[in-house]
Amino acid sequence: MKLFLLFLTSNFVSAQFQCLVCSSTKREIKDRFLPSDRPTSGSDNDDCWYPRRNSSNLESCETGCYHLYYAYRYKNVGNLKQNIEYTTVERGSFYYTDNVAENGYWTVTDLPSKLNWSLNDGLHCLQCQTKPNNTDAERDQCYYSVKSKFSGTCDGANFTTCDSAVSKFWSRDKLYEFAKRGCSENLPGEPDQWAQGFVNRQMSPYFRGQNVTMVRKYCDFDDCNTPRADFITSSGINSK
């Protein structure tokens, strides 16, 4: 994914300096995107947008501080298919030196005039969960990966993969199917993760659900999180 970034640095030699180490994103839901609208800063009360010398996020750094701004717009975000604008500031310290600057505490608070919306679509993933107590007879659309219904843009640029957690198990003489699909910040190439987990907790406030084997898989291209369970556990253990 490509983002339009403005990266600003302040470098120093042979001294320690105070850098604000933080990240903050302003997130706005829009009815529609207007070409004339430009990115704007976040809240005055947010000291990542408006640095304060008494901030708890200040850290010492020997080489200097950096400030990174980026802004982007996503359509069809999540199950509600929303239009969302994101404007982000990141501040921190870096660990190389290539010139000398004049001041030791950079308090940039205004967005650079050249900052504009990045042209990217974001990662699209299936985002859904099967209905409670779903059996194979119901042919739940989330379990069977109906892309036209559940595909949506992930809510932010930090999501790098799509994931799916699936299971298929016998319980009380019925064959249950479970799937939970969504967006993940895990890196591409993560191995499959096998685990025990509770499903169908909604059956009763005193019933924790069935403790079943499930597998979580990750993938890194649009709408790739379609796997179904290729195994059937012998039984789902009921737990109160």
182 close to 125: Cβ distance less than 8 angstroms? yes
> What is the tens place of the pLDDT at every residue in 173-229?
899 999 999 999 999 889 999 998 888 765 555 556 788 999 999 999 999 999 999
Bridge partners of residue 90, in order along the sequence? 23, 68
First to last CA, the chain: 45
55: its two tokens: 């901030």
> What is the tens place of the pLDDT at every residue in 15-63?
577 888 999 999 999 999 999 999 999 999 998 999 887 888 888 887 7
* pLDDT value for 129: 96
CB atoms closer than 10 angstroms to residue 186: 16
Average pLDDT, the chain: 84
SS3 179: strand
Sign of CA pseudo-dihedral 55, 59, 62, 68:
negative
Q: How many CA atoms lie within 13 A of 140 on its CB side?
A: 20
Rounded Cα distance between 70 and 96, Å, is 23
